[in-house]
Structure 1
């Protein structure tokens, strides 16, 4: 599933080729995404210039001259930049054709992604206005985590994945950040100290920044008409390494299930 670093990598990868360009047309081959693509959307957006490209949580916001497109990659969505006359393949649901001759092609096998239109400020859209702070924002720090965790018995990893409290941390990065901060994922959020939350907030920012930087090395893959966007590869300390020795203390990494999601931690390094 694309998480915050993948979406930010996608934004940075496509921005140089889309900013300032005009939308020649939008071709919708399959409107049945998570929410149906409005039949009016192609007509509303056509001919407009792309003035800005932002990210909020896992949404890409294409700011046009009059309105905005909100694109979410869902669980399996990818974006590619390629010449508009290249034949589509299975699950190529939407083409955003630019005046440069390129198109931004959205592929989504599971169709959990979305493409929506709004004529209002996109940050006030019903899907975005209730979103919590971004983990890379200055307001997200140990003091904020201490405040939202006070009195809560929920496990700290589940708290980090609550989009009403913080957006975009995701399963992989919650596990990795908790490892770096030395905190077990099952610990009650309300029993973690302010100092530990300082370390955890710093670890979250660190692991996300590292993932985004690693993604930057493969941005050329967005121009590969045969492949998928080159999401980063990085050496993970715990995620996906159940039973393998910890890179630090050599004890076997444990795998458990929390709220239906796999969680990984080191019993030696995390307390």
Structure 2
């Protein structure tokens, strides 16, 4: 599933090309793709003739602000992807919908598994209702270390399950939860409420860094993800634990394990992420080694939280 870094990469790619363009039509090839409103004709009324005024991201959702105040929302779910193509481009497999634009280009929504959804909303009130259960943005100004610590302290949930919960933080999924927990040196089965202040601070920074580095590498492609121009993300080869089961840990050389936690395949280093807290020396060693790995990819880091809505 595309997570925050992948959706943010798509947003950054498409915004310059789409803002100011006028929508001339919606071609819905699979009706189930449209979640709201209940009929295609209602969606067409809200979209037709409208210019795209802005393109935002909230968690894993893309938000297209229209001049009228209406909002087109796209959630890619498991296998969805979107891309901007010329009008004469061949129709790709699994094309579920396309937005026709005034310059002849088309925004394609492709989804092999048909889990992705489009929402055409009349205004901010409907958007607030749709996104009401989302937690704060990990990279946005609505969350700082103090609020993160407070949110952790009242939850007895295990860390893996908590970080996957979009009500706690918006945008993290299986890939970047595993990456963040490794960076923080925390076992996925640790209880959130049992973290001390130093551990909470490590996890806060680890979540932010895991996402920032992935954005700078334009996301992670295992199967279906492509950026706004149809190109694979560059972050897969730089993952620290996710997808690296049985391979050596980049920090200590131990074998990365893949286990099942919170119903999800979970990757961890049993040495770097013990169930018992680390000694300070081992924390410093891991932090230094991960910083060395990150160094080429954070020097030009952008402020990725600016797109939230």
Deviates more, 1:78-87 or 1:15-24: 78-87
Contact 1:237–1:247 (8 Å) recurs in 2: yes
Give the aligned partner of residue 154 of structure 1: 157
Going by fraction, where is helix more abundant, 1 or 2? 2
**Following TM superposition, by how much is the alpha carbon of 1:148 offset from its aligned partner in structure 2, in angstroms?**
1.9
Residue aligning to 2:5: 5
The answer for the alignment partner of 1:130 in structure 2 is: 133
Q: Are 1:209 and 2:212 matched, yes or no? A: yes
Distance 2:201 2:267 in 1: 21
Report how many aligned residue pairs link the two structures. Answer: 265
SS for the counterpart of 2:64 is: strand
CA distance in 2, matches of 1:255, 1:31: 38
> What are the residue-to-residue correspondences of 1:8-157 with 2, within 5 Å?
8-33=8-33, 35=35, 38-39=39-40, 40-66=42-68, 67-121=70-124, 124-157=127-160
User: Which secondary structure state, in structure 2, belongs to the residue aligned with residue 143 of structure 1?
Assistant: helix
Q: Choose which of 217, 235, 239 in structure 2 pairs with 1:233.
A: 235
Cα separation, partners in 2 of 1:118 and 1:35, compared to 1, 3 Å: closer
TM-score for the superposition, normalised by structure 1: 0.91
Post-superposition Cα deviations, 1:76-120, rounded to whole Å, max 9, x if no partner, equal: 001111112323232111111111211110001111111111112
Q: Which runs of 5+ in 2 are unaligned?
A: 275-309
Cα distance, 1:183 vs structure 2: 0.9
Structure 1 CA distance for aligned equivalents of residues 71 and 216 of structure 2: 27
* Pair 236,131 (structure 1): closer, same or farther in 2 beyond 3 Å: same
Provide the rounded CA distance (Å) in 1 between the counterparts of 2:85 and 2:125: 27
> Structure 1: how far apart are the matches of 2:95 and 2:177?
31
Q: Aligned runs of 1:188-267 on 2, under 5 Å?
A: 188-215=191-218, 222-223=228-229, 228-234=230-236, 235-267=238-270
Q: Alpha-carbon deviation of 1:181?
A: 1.0
TM-score when normalising by structure 2: 0.80
